[in-house]
Chain A
Amino acid sequence: MKKNLTAWLCLLPAIAFLGVFMVYPLIDVLVYSFEEGYNFASQSFWETGFYNYSYVLHDPYFIQALKNTFIIVIITVPLSTGIALLISLELSSVKVLRDFFQTVYFLPYVTNTLAVGLVFMILFKKTAYSDGLVSLLIQLFGGPSVDFIDGPYWAKMFVMCFYTIWIVMPFKILILTSALASVNPMYYKAAQIDATPKWRIFYKITLPMISPMVFYLVITGFIGAFKAYSDEVALFGTDLNAAGMNTIVGYVYDMLYGNSGGYPSYASAAALLLFAIVFTITTINLMVSKKTVYYQ
């Protein structure tokens, strides 16, 4: 009994913190999402039901955010993982200046988001003084002037995906280069003696051996992309609804604190919808991984 007491005492700080800052808010969000017409000031509501969900699902801003989020997820997760894999493969075969290249690829990870945002502005934003470097480049080859920040939807989405891929790349490269380095070179020697073609070495040996890491990156990539918000703000400012570039997390934030905010019930409903989506996708991922990922 006394032993148990000591154990509980040791656990108490962690349990208290987790309880207050995680478990309770989670339950609270669930409760909020079913309370219709919740009023902050009076802390009262009309009745319980699914109205909040219905409202959110019929809100064009939410639909827009949902669409944006899905586009970002579907484009950036496979692309960033694939490109990171290619770069890591090159990095691990390069001998000269390897450390230099590794540093170059890792720089975005340690660079301040605002500084990155500024660079992207210079590259893409149309101002009174400049059309933005990329737009100027397009015009040089006879293309039209494109405003990537305030212009057409596809241009904005392009910048968004480009930015997201670029910003998540360093971490993926870091993980994948170390995964590649941990593959015992003896397997490659064995494959070489057996006259294995290069693509087959990659497909049959390298990829299965680093598959747990690739899978880890895909899962965390999906979750991270579904939770995208701050990068959108860095590029398009805080009024994402007006820019048409809002995401689900952005929608939740706007519902709480935005100009038209003050609706914790709608925010909670949207948050739980996001949770349901992420949960489903992750489950599917796990099911797929059972067949494709090899754990040593």
Chain B
Amino acid sequence: MKIVLEHLTKRFPNRNKKIKEDVVAVNDFNFEIPDGKLIGLLGPSGCGKSTALNLICGLEQPTEGKIFFGDTDVTKLPPENRGVGLVFQNYALYPHLTVRENIRFPLENLRGKDKLSKEVMEEKVLEAAKLVQIQELLDRRPSEMSGGQQQRVAIARALVKRPQVLLLDEPLSNLDARLRLQTREELKRIQLETGITTVFVTHDQEEAMSISDTIVVMKSGVLQQMGEPQEIYDEPVNLFVAKFLGTPQINVFEGKIKDGNVFIGNSPVMSAENYNNSEKEVYVAVRPEGFIVDENGPLSCGFINREVMGRDTSVIATNSAFIGENIRAIIPSEEEIHPVNNTVKFSLKPFKVRIFDKVTEERILL
């Protein structure tokens, strides 16, 4: 089932009653989620991504705009009639019921012609449990399980009615690092196996990048960019998106474009042939993997330290034009660094360098 959002807007009255202006949690969303895809809604906390999710599932009513599931307008439908499954951030498993009873709960609500027999229910519960691999835990209570297991139960409960759309609110944020890695693979597997259109909300860019078919990046209620993970990483439309994706963060320098060259400070680091005449103040953003240690390189930085990761090495350095604390460059571990007078020189890989307007912070294409 594809999901279409049309001019979707949600405003909340301001908490501070002296300020008349509403808080816009979701501002004019227009996009289409294709059928059977896994979509990551990504943004920092408070950017409105959970509100967007609540709008899609119907727990909140939009101020303006429409939501379509397939060709059906569901904007006015209450959540129970939308055919969505929702997994809550802290799972919302009923603590007094066993896993089996929890998963069966949505089925028991079916009335009239949809009413299921006990046998069919049990079958469906087992099927859902098998999908998330918790068959042997069916008689436990939620409190007797680990966070990861509870998460699976929550997914099974959301899936047991075969919803058209599966929504997950920060599905991995309550898990420890190792479980998170495992569970996100699991999520991807379940989504592929069921083929249900899935939207999940996260503030963790790595999580979004690793499993999403498409990422939607949000900031203060405004959609910044939508696209495939690699595309968003490589071609961010503005500085915010560039900074939000990737760890370590992209390195941002003050710079300018002048005489057909891009400058960091006073060093020309790469050419910009289309900008021969104009001079422009810009931000030059370099991905950590965009640095090459080069004795004759144009970018000269103060060497601070190196961190050996095994697979590769982080070089920590400074430069007067750098914004923030320290430059982090990642170089292959076999490359050696010989700082001369505590100075290390880099040249840059042009396709890892992105230029942004200093005022609007929008991307400037060279």
Contacts and interface: CB of A to CB of B under 8 A. Distances in A.
A197 to B, nearest CB: 7
A189 interface: yes
Contact of B94 (A193, A195, A205): A205
Contacts, number: 57
B96 A194 contact: no
Contact of B109 (A189, A194, A294, A296): A194
B79 A193 contact: yes
B346 interface: no
Nearest to B81: A195
Interface string B76-110: 00111100111010101011110000000110111
Q: Classify chain A's interface size.
A: 10 to 19
A208 B86 CA distance: 23
Nearest to A208: B96
Contacts of A191: 105
Q: Which of B58, B85, B95 has most chain A Cβ within 10 Å?
A: B95
Contacts of B90: 186
B94 A189 contact: no
A184 B92 CA distance: 9
A187 B157 CA distance: 13
B20 interface: no
B199 to A, nearest CB: 14
A122 B59 CA distance: 51
A129 to B, nearest CB: 55
Nearest to B88: A186
A209 interface: yes
A192 interface: yes
- Of A191, A209, A296, the most chain B CB neighbours within 10 A belong to A191
Nearest to A211: B96
Interface in B43-91: 57-59, 78-81, 84-86, 88, 90
A200 interface: yes
A283 interface: no
A180 to B, nearest CB: 16
B59 A194 contact: no
A189 B161 contact: no
B106 A195 contact: yes
Nearest to A197: B109
Contact of B80 (A193, A205, A208, A209): A193
* Main SS class of interface, A: helix
Contacts of A208: 94, 96
A132 to B, nearest CB: 48
A116 B95 CA distance: 43
A189 B95 contact: no
A193 B84 CA distance: 7
Residue of A187, A195, A200, A296 most packed against chain B (CB within 10 A)? A195
B94 A187 contact: yes
A48 interface: no
Most buried by A among B57, B88, B111: B88
A191 B93 CA distance: 10
Contacts of A200: 108-109
A192 B85 CA distance: 11
A241 B81 CA distance: 64
Among A194, A204, A209, A294, find the residue whose CB has the most chain B CB atoms closer than 10 A: A194
A196 interface: yes
B304 to A, nearest CB: 46
Given A192-B59, A197-B111, A187 B106 contact: no
Most buried by A among B78, B85, B92, B108: B92
B80 A195 contact: yes
A194 B94 contact: no
B71 to A, nearest CB: 22
Contacts of A209: 95-96
Contacts of B81: 195
A205 B94 CA distance: 7
Contacts of A193: 57-59, 79-80, 84-86
B96 A189 contact: no
B110 to A, nearest CB: 8
Contacts of A195: 80-81, 106, 109-110
A186 B81 CA distance: 19
Given A186-B88, A186-B90, A189-B88, A194 B95 contact: no
Contacts of A187: 92, 94
Contacts of B58: 193
A112 to B, nearest CB: 40
A190 interface: yes
B88 A196 contact: no
A194 B106 contact: yes
Interface string B140-158: 0001000000000000010
Contacts of B143: 296
A195 B143 CA distance: 25
Contacts of B111: 197
Contacts of B109: 194-197, 200
Contacts of B57: 193
Given A190-B94, A192-B78, 9 more contacts: A186-B92, A187-B94, A191-B105, A195-B80, A195-B106, A196-B80, A204-B97, A205-B94, A209-B96
21 contacts: A184-B92, A186-B88, A186-B92, A189-B59, A189-B88, A190-B92, A193-B79, A193-B80, A193-B84, A193-B85, A195-B80, A195-B81, A195-B109, A196-B80, A196-B105, A196-B109, A204-B105, A208-B94, A208-B96, A209-B96, A294-B95
Instruction: Give 7 closest A-B pairs by Cβ, nearest first.
Output: A195-B80, A194-B106, A294-B96, A190-B92, A208-B96, A186-B92, A193-B79
